[in-house]
Amino acid sequence: MVTIAGVHRWCKLSLSALAIWGLVACASGPSVPKPADLGPNPALLGVRSVWTSQIGVIDFPLSVPVTGNSITLAGSDGAVISLNAATGAALWRTHIGARIAAGVGSDGRYAAVVTRDNELVTLEGARELWRTRLTSQVFTAPLVAGERVFVLGADRGVSAFDARSGKKLWSNQRPGEALVLRQAGVMIAVNNTLVVGLAGRLVGFNPLNGNVQWDAPIATPRGTNDIERLVDLVAGVTRDGHVICARAFQAAIGCVNTTRGSVVWKQAASGVVGLHGDDKQIYGVEGDGRMIAWGLADGGSVWTSDRLRYRQLSTPLALGRSVVVGDETGLIHFLSRADGSPLTRLSTDGSAISVTPVLAGGTLVAITRNGGVFGFQPE
């Protein structure tokens, strides 16, 4: 198994560009076009900064679970912290004594991360409960649900552990591909089903025993080499009841009915980050930075915005009447959900918004690659 790490979002991938860790170099390819000037801030929404914090540099795919009015996050050096999203105050803080490769998963009681030495570490508040060695690298945050910790390995293996004791309950190993993304994948609980992204498919597991209940393809590997065939589902999904919509890396988007395990619709799309939506539309970023809104019911295009092209955008967040997205310079953009027009933008610390913004209570939380944590609220 080889991973692709640090993929420049607008480079054409080729086997000759693959290095030992799958690093893809773009120096020999065409230069990325310069983003257009943003112009004056329209300031059509009143949003104010209410607190800031710091977690330390984040160089892994961080997931930020929200439980009520609290968030849990981690830094690369091993710090794990839970914050009150309204005030930014620390609820608890600890250090696991190792660098982190994936995390955080939390249900509000238990939290779990995976170290670069492939150890799964589970906490109850600031207290470590247990840790165990895994057989594979992990890039997707563990999922903590139903007193269990679920892990998706880079080898396409899915495992379940008892959250309290660390006892391994089951594992299910699927056929692996030659390449996988060094990027967070999809793992989510939907009612009584564990839904996992495996290659270009959403797969429903029985969380009690690991048996596969259904298997729905969003994208099928194609092409003449392993890189062209890479269609991993990427983190950032949107849910409307029993329907889950997800993106396959540079290949497609699609929605799956998790009750029947059937594809509702799918269509070609070229993005590399996830989706978010509301009860009518899905919002996503294509590989060149175009923002697109699709109809939830049928995937039809609703609007497209070119204003943020080439800015290396984060997964979007649908929030109120806006769609919120961060860029590589630390700006947070609020676009209209109706037509993609700009509403306002906010500044952080100048480093990339590398984590999908989250809403906890009434606070929007944005996190930068340098570890800045920023809480914003409407005025």
* pLDDT tens profile 34-53: 999 999 999 999 999 999 99
Kindly state the average pLDDT of the residues 321-350. 98
- Residue 210 has a CB neighbour count (10 Å cut-off) of 17
Q: What residues have CB less than 8 Å from 179, skipping those under 6 apart?
A: 1, 2, 3, 4, 22, 226, 227, 229, 230
Candidate from 55-64, 219-228, 246-255 with smallest mean pLDDT: 219-228
The pLDDT assigned to 30 comes to: 57
**Side-chain half-sphere of 26: how many Cα atoms within 13 Å?**
11
* Residue 164, pLDDT above cutoff 80: yes
* Residue 369, pLDDT above cutoff 50: yes
Helices (H) and strands (E) in the chain, counts: 0, 34
Percent of the chain with pLDDT over 70: 91
Query: Could you name the CATH architecture of 275-379?
Result: Beta Barrel (2.40)
Sketch the domain layout of the chain as residue ranges: 275-379
Kindly state the average pLDDT of the residues 268-280. 96
List the one residue out of 168, 240, 174 whose CA is nearest residue 209. Answer: 168
pLDDT band at 177 (very low <50, low <70, confident <90, very high): low
* Residue 20, pLDDT above cutoff 90: no
Candidate from 152-156, 172-176, 366-370 with smallest mean pLDDT: 172-176
Of 13 and 322, the structure prediction assigns the larger pLDDT to: 322
Percent of the chain with pLDDT over 90: 85
The H-or-E segment that residue 249 falls in is: none
pLDDT band at 343 (very low <50, low <70, confident <90, very high): very high
Q: What gap in Å lies between CA 379 and CA 49, rounded to an integer?
A: 9
Q: What gap in Å lies between CA 159 and CA 44, rounded to an integer?
A: 47
The answer to whether the CB of 369 falls within 8 A of the CB of 57 is yes
* Residue 359, pLDDT above cutoff 90: yes
- Residue 43 has a CB neighbour count (10 Å cut-off) of 12
The pLDDT assigned to 14 comes to: 31
pLDDT band at 182 (very low <50, low <70, confident <90, very high): confident
* Residue 25, pLDDT above cutoff 90: no
* Residue 192, pLDDT above cutoff 80: yes
Q: What gap in Å lies between CA 73 and CA 105, rounded to an integer?
A: 9
The pLDDT assigned to 27 comes to: 35
List the one residue out of 140, 93, 136 whose CA is nearest residue 113. Answer: 140
Prediction pTM value? 0.91
Kindly state the average pLDDT of the residues 10-35. 43
Q: What gap in Å lies between CA 352 and CA 218, rounded to an integer?
A: 29
Q: DSSP for 339-365?
A: T--EEEEE--SSS---S--EEETTEEE
